[in-house]
Protein backbone atom coordinates (compact mmCIF):
# COMPACT_ATOMS: atom_id res chain seq x y z
CA UNK A 1 0.00 0.00 0.00
CA UNK A 2 2.79 2.44 0.89
CA UNK A 3 4.60 1.82 -2.37
CA UNK A 4 1.37 2.75 -4.18
CA UNK A 5 1.11 6.18 -2.56
CA UNK A 6 -0.66 5.44 0.74
CA UNK A 7 2.08 6.75 3.03
CA UNK A 8 -0.12 6.61 6.17
CA UNK A 9 -0.69 2.85 5.86
CA UNK A 10 0.37 1.12 9.13
CA UNK A 11 2.23 -2.12 9.71
CA UNK A 12 0.00 -5.18 10.09
CA UNK A 13 -0.97 -6.53 13.50
CA UNK A 14 -2.09 -10.00 14.52
CA UNK A 15 -5.84 -9.99 14.97
CA UNK A 16 -8.27 -12.46 16.43
CA UNK A 17 -7.64 -16.04 15.45
CA UNK A 18 -4.08 -15.18 14.42
CA UNK A 19 -5.20 -13.48 11.24
CA UNK A 20 -3.43 -10.32 10.07
CA UNK A 21 -5.21 -7.03 10.36
CA UNK A 22 -4.61 -3.30 10.43
CA UNK A 23 -5.50 -0.50 12.79
CA UNK A 24 -6.45 2.32 10.46
CA UNK A 25 -7.38 5.83 11.44
CA UNK A 26 -7.71 8.42 8.76
CA UNK A 27 -9.94 11.12 7.48
CA UNK A 28 -10.48 13.43 4.56
CA UNK A 29 -6.88 14.74 4.68
CA UNK A 30 -5.32 11.32 5.24
CA UNK A 31 -4.10 8.83 2.66
CA UNK A 32 -6.35 6.35 4.52
CA UNK A 33 -9.44 7.50 2.70
CA UNK A 34 -11.43 5.13 0.50
CA UNK A 35 -12.34 8.01 -1.80
CA UNK A 36 -8.73 8.83 -2.68
CA UNK A 37 -7.40 7.41 -5.92
CA UNK A 38 -4.08 6.31 -4.33
CA UNK A 39 -5.95 4.24 -1.72
CA UNK A 40 -8.15 2.63 -4.37
CA UNK A 41 -5.17 1.80 -6.56
CA UNK A 42 -3.24 0.43 -3.58
CA UNK A 43 -6.12 -1.87 -2.64
CA UNK A 44 -6.36 -3.13 -6.22
CA UNK A 45 -2.62 -3.71 -6.45
CA UNK A 46 -2.43 -5.50 -3.09
CA UNK A 47 -5.63 -7.53 -3.31
CA UNK A 48 -3.69 -10.68 -4.19
CA UNK A 49 -1.74 -10.29 -0.93
CA UNK A 50 -4.66 -9.28 1.28
CA UNK A 51 -7.01 -11.89 -0.13
CA UNK A 52 -10.26 -11.40 -1.97
CA UNK A 53 -12.30 -11.67 1.24
CA UNK A 54 -10.33 -8.91 2.99
CA UNK A 55 -12.17 -5.62 3.20
CA UNK A 56 -11.69 -2.25 4.81
CA UNK A 57 -14.48 -1.00 7.05
CA UNK A 58 -14.91 2.76 7.31
CA UNK A 59 -17.14 4.68 9.66
CA UNK A 60 -18.47 8.25 9.30
CA UNK A 61 -15.72 9.47 11.65
CA UNK A 62 -13.09 8.30 9.18
CA UNK A 63 -11.89 5.54 11.48
CA UNK A 64 -11.64 2.16 9.90
CA UNK A 65 -10.07 -1.24 10.19
CA UNK A 66 -9.21 -4.17 8.04
CA UNK A 67 -11.77 -6.92 8.39
> What's the structural domain count of the chain?
1
Which residues constitute the domain of residue 18?
A: 2-66
Q: What's the pLDDT at 63?
A: 47
Predicted TM-score (pTM) of this structure: 0.66
Residue 23 to residue 57: CA distance in whole angstroms: 11
Q: What's the pLDDT at 59?
A: 61
Q: What's the pLDDT at 57?
A: 67
Residues in the chain predicted with pLDDT less than 50, given as ranges, are 63, 67
Residue 28 to residue 52: CA distance in whole angstroms: 26
Main-chain phi, psi angles of 27, to 5 degrees: -170, -165
Q: What's the pLDDT at 14?
A: 80
Amino acid sequence: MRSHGVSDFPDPVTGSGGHPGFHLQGGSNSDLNQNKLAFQRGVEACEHILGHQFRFVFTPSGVGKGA
